[in-house]
Amino acid sequence: MNSDWREYEPLALYTTLKVGGVARYLTTVTTVSAVAQMVTRAQALALPFVTIGGGSNLLISDNGYPGLVIVMAIAGMSEVVRGDQVLVTAGAGMVFDELVATTVRRGYWGLENLSHIPGTVGATPIQNVGAYGVEVADLIESVTVYDTETGVEGVLQTDQCAFGYRTSRFKTVTPQRLIITSVTFRLTKNDRPQVGYADLAQRFAGIVPESPTVVRDAVIAIRSAKFPDWHTVGTAGSFFKNPIVSREVAHELQRRYPELPCYPHGTSQIKCSLGYILDKICGLRGFGDGRVRLYEAQALVLVAERGATATNIADFAVFVAQQVYEKTGIVIEREVQTL
């Protein structure tokens, strides 16, 4: 047996919500060959398996996981300069914000708006991580994956990833079949500040930021006022996605709630601010049952205090979704993945 093959490992230690039962087996992988070895072992034992990174987008059941949890820890980073572009490849287990900090320090533009998002590089394509007007889909050149059905490592180009708003083929077409082992980002040495998003536009009104560091610092300052510190409190950030509705539905909602922020999404749909709906329409900002609540500074963020269970969180999420449905007729979707 591999020395890192653990049994009955408490999964609450592996997620930022800090809840969940035990994994029957758990292993941490630092190389692609270890990924292959562990998947083969799970398959030989007819065990289900799942790959996780930093657990910052996961709600794990109080019953735990009956199979093998593979914790992605492939590290390392390299870069290739291509004219003004820099192709930066990072191991799937690298902490994403370390990658952001390093590239920003080197003066490369691209990832700065995504500063301080918890989790690993390998998880960023899964839900097409985004913040402050930028999504990783805008920057990903390719994704390297280990296919657990064929046992072969391959490379997917961006147009093969079916990226959408907080989604990708890794979530929809082939969940858990492809294990991401590294991601290559296309960054640039040329000035390319993206400060059109409301909070950033306000900070940089009339100013063109001279370096990605300036933008990163601004993003970190904005985020620290909106998100609780996940090191000390249970949270997975935004628990739900912003709802995407038809023009007609958005029009009717804005007739009833003229201040509801809505933005075009693609050519025919509208994305509505769930933060506003939860706060101003449902009156749920700061509301909770003691152990689980919506955060006072940002209603989109669910916070779980010590002692909360996954069941408490799931029940509260159902209650929140019901409130939104009753007030707006919209069925909201979870952003957080359930295991």
Ligand X SMILES: Cc1cc2nc3c(=O)[nH]c(=O)nc-3n(C[C@H](O)[C@H](O)[C@H](O)COP(=O)(O)OP(=O)(O)OC[C@H]3O[C@@H](n4cnc5c(N)ncnc54)[C@H](O)[C@@H]3O)c2cc1C
Which residues form the catalytic set?
166, 238, 335
- By CB under 6 A, tell whether 236 contacts ligand X: yes
With respect to ligand X, which residue has the nearer C-beta, 65 or 249? 65
* Nearest-10 Cα torsion for 307, 289, 287, 337: 50
With respect to ligand X, which residue has the nearer C-beta, 54 or 275? 54
- By CB under 6 A, tell whether 52 contacts ligand X: yes
One-letter amino acid identity for 14? Y
Q: How far is the CB of 203 from ligand X (least distance, A)?
A: 17
**Residue 267 in tokens:** 């050519």
With respect to ligand X, which residue has the nearer C-beta, 298 or 328? 298
> Residue 215's closest CA among 100, 297, 60?
100
Residue the block writes with tokens 């998100």: 227
- By CB under 6 A, tell whether 235 contacts ligand X: yes
The residue within the footprint of ligand X, chosen from 22, 38, 137, 179 (CB under 6 A), is 179
CA–CA distance, 198 with 301 (Å, rounded to integer): 19
**Residue 321 in tokens:** 């979704």
**Residue 9 in tokens:** 């490992």
CA–CA distance, 27 with 18 (Å, rounded to integer): 19
With respect to ligand X, which residue has the nearer C-beta, 120 or 323? 120
> Residue 313's closest CA among 244, 233, 242?
233
CA–CA distance, 89 with 109 (Å, rounded to integer): 15
CA–CA distance, 323 with 332 (Å, rounded to integer): 10
Q: How far is the CB of 118 from ligand X (least distance, A)?
A: 4
> Residue 303's closest CA among 240, 242, 233?
233
Structural Rg of the chain based on CA atoms = 20
Q: How far is the CB of 248 from ligand X (least distance, A)?
A: 28
The pattern of x and - marking residues 96 through 135 that bind ligand X according to CB under 6 A reads ---------------------xxxx-xxx-xx-xxx----
The residue within the footprint of ligand X, chosen from 11, 49, 57, 284 (CB under 6 A), is 57
Contact window for ligand X (CB under 6 A) among 102-110, 191-199, 206-214, 229-237 = 229-237
Q: How far is the CB of 74 from ligand X (least distance, A)?
A: 8
Contact 120, 28 (CB under 8 A): no
**Roughly how many angstroms between the first and final C-alpha of the chain, as a whole number?**
26
Site for ligand X in 13-32 (CB under 6 A): 16
Contact window for ligand X (CB under 6 A) among 47-55, 204-212, 278-286, 289-297 = 47-55
Q: Which residues bind ligand X (CB under 6 A)?
A: 16, 50-58, 72, 92, 117-120, 122-124, 126-127, 129-131, 179-180, 227, 230, 235-237, 337
